[in-house]
Amino acid sequence: MRERPNALKDSAVTAHLPPSDDLDPRLIDFAREVFDTARRGEAATLATLIDRGLPPNLRNEKGDSLVMLASYHGHANAVRALIQHGADPDLRNDNGQTPLAGAAFKGYAEVISALLDNGANVEGASPDGRTALMIAAMFNRVDIVDQLLSRGANPRAQDGSGNTAFDVANGMGATDAAARLAHASGRTG
């Protein structure tokens, strides 16, 4: 593999930091275009860029990785391509959110499958202990709740406040998800 220019190598590692006067503006524009490419889900382009030396875990100024951006925008093929080219499926952004949590929030079942099929942790929690199952439950995304449960999500897991996915769903008035989780966790009455 060809050695990357130092400016690309150094800036790619620190791309989530605010732009510096020391960085070439063309490099910053290139990084922005790469992030937009992930948002658009251009799997082949992303794979080619990584094959040519782009770090697969490149992150923007918010700490969002390419996998996070592709996940949040619903692009399962891009997610697969990125992970298969070395990207970390569990890399959290600066808020501690995982790509799986982003896909659960948005309701992207195909992205969730792509992440889990390629090594994402179904129990990966944010700093407050919220899991993707809790997020799906909160927004009454029963299909996503079912998907995560079928892939091993623990309905009894608790967040930092001691709430389970059932508690979160119930508190948000997400009655369908709460009913599903009550059954899954063996709650009665």
Q: What number of helices (H) and strands (E) belong to the chain?
A: 11, 0
pLDDT in tens, 16-31: 555 556 778 888 899 9
Domains 19-121 and 128-188 equal at CATH topology level:
yes
In CATH terms, the superfamily for domain 19-121 is: Ankyrin repeat-containing domain (1.25.40.20)
d(CA 135, CA 97): 11
Q: What is the 3-state secondary structure (H, E, C) of 1-52?
A: CCCCCHHHHHHHHCCCCCCCCCCCHHHHHHHHHHHHHHHHCCHHHHHHHHHC
pLDDT band, residue 4 (cuts 50/70/90)? very low
Of the two residues 13 and 85, the one the predictor is more confident about is 85
Domain layout of the chain by residue ranges: 19-121, 128-188
Give the number of other CB atoms < 10 A from CB of residue 156. 12
Average pLDDT, rounded, for the chain: 90
pLDDT of residue 23: 78
Mean pLDDT, range 76-91, rounded to an integer:
98
Model's pTM, two decimal places?
0.86
Q: Domain 128-188 is of which CATH architecture?
A: Alpha Horseshoe (1.25)
